[in-house]
Amino acid sequence: MNFFYLLKDFQLLFFRDRSSRYFISATILGLMFSLAVILCSLALMDGFGVTLKKSLNAGSGEIILTANSGFFELNENEVKDLNNFPIQTKIPMLRTQSFANKDEKGKAVFVVGVDEGVEKLDNGLFMPKENEVIIGDLLAENLGVKKGDTLKFSFSAGKLGERYLPTNAVLRVVDIIPFKIHEYRNRFVYVNLDHIQKLLGVGKKINIMSLRLDPEYRTINKINEVVSDMRSVFYYEFTVAPYWSDFATFLKAVEFEKYMISIVFSIVVILAIFNCLAFIIFSKERRSQEIFLLYAIGLSPSKFKTLWVVQNVGIWLLAFLGSLICVEIFDYLLGTLDIFSLPTNVYHLSRIELYLAFKDIFAVGAISLALILFLTYLVLKRLDSKSMAQGLREEFS
């Protein structure tokens, strides 16, 4: 309790005049916004990757299995091998290309045949009936269709006899879904698996098996482990890839940009740290008489150093907590204001959320605190170079 009252008097000593209060307020705000800038940058890049992977995972299982020979049908031995892995659900799919047209408008699309297993992905998809199709909202907007309208699809002949003539199908739009990924909204349509197999003449064969893992194996590290194990078993027949494999290069680029931007914005934090140094030096020069007078009336140098360290740590703590509040405010604005919406044809997503990892918070906080303590140590070291008698003589002469 005595230390608390001593600290309170110590604060009154340093901040009793208006100029000192303005200086400390500007120092705290400068450090706060500098830390907020670098934290928001890290959270923005991580949030983009997390949001993209989450959106991709909503459209498929954690692992995608494709045959090196094209269309396939799992045999008994392959099913037994798959059962040795932590797979909750196997979702057969058939993906092909087609041309969808409505009146005078048309667009090349990916047609994905799905069965009732797709409902276990929790993404709003369900198995369409034989003559139904589910499309994305951007595709519906581009073609000018709504629920209940019909679309005409033209497929290659596949394995049917008339190889030079396309296979046509007229399907009714049963649902329009606003997917989060731009490609899904604009180019993917979902139809009944049995129906597309009949149209292409492939029997019961598929070309994609989407695998939904058990809940405890759905983290990034666990998925990579299962993928590695499966590749050692299906190294010849199948290609085994995590669900984000199509965007792997893009995600690596985002990760690289994260570190580059962090390095650039670190300069802003360093400038704010020098503002803190200016305040520390200002306080020392402005209150040097009072400091040596406190020494003369009995305040020990070690206790004085402790008080000053506590004061500067308190300045850092206020700025750091304020920066975390700024991150939360930015996250809210990012999700509500249209000015922060992304061009989906470039970034694949229209909205992203901030994701601030604990290691990033700890790294930014620890480095900034270490710099504050180092600068405090330099100033205190300079005070130690003067004896009490020398200090009193210089300050009161």
Residue 162 CB coordination number (10 Å): 8
Residues paired with 248 in a beta bridge: none
C-alpha distances out from residue 353 to 42, 350, 356, Å: 12, 11, 10
> Angle 248-286/288-296 helices, nearest 10 degrees?
70
Q: What is the reported pLDDT for 346?
A: 44
Separation between Cα atoms, residue 356 and residue 36, nearest integer Å? 11
Please tell me the distance from the alpha carbon of residue 109 to that of residue 113, in angstroms, as a whole number.
Answer: 13
How confident is the model at residue 217, as a pLDDT?
86
Buried b / exposed e along 333-358 (16+ C-beta atoms within 10 A): ebeeeeeeeeebeeebbeebbbbbee
pLDDT in tens, the chain (397 residues): 465 555 555 555 666 667 667 777 888 888 888 888 888 888 887 877 777 777 777 667 788 888 887 888 888 888 888 888 998 888 888 988 889 888 878 888 999 998 888 887 766 788 888 889 999 888 888 888 989 888 998 887 655 445 556 788 889 999 998 877 777 888 889 999 999 988 888 888 888 888 888 888 888 888 889 888 888 888 778 888 888 777 777 777 777 777 777 777 777 777 777 777 776 666 666 655 566 555 555 556 666 677 777 778 888 898 899 999 998 888 888 777 766 555 554 444 556 777 888 888 898 888 888 888 887 787 777 655 554 445 444 444 5
For residues 232-255, one letter each, b for 16 or more C-beta atoms within 10 angstroms of the residue's C-beta and e for the rest, the string is eebeebbebbbbbeebeeebeebe
pLDDT value of position 2 = 61
Of 53, 233, 206, nearest to 118 by C-alpha is: 206
Query: What are the boundaries of each domain within the chain?
Result: 2-55+250-396, 63-242
- Identity (one letter) of the amino acid at 213? L
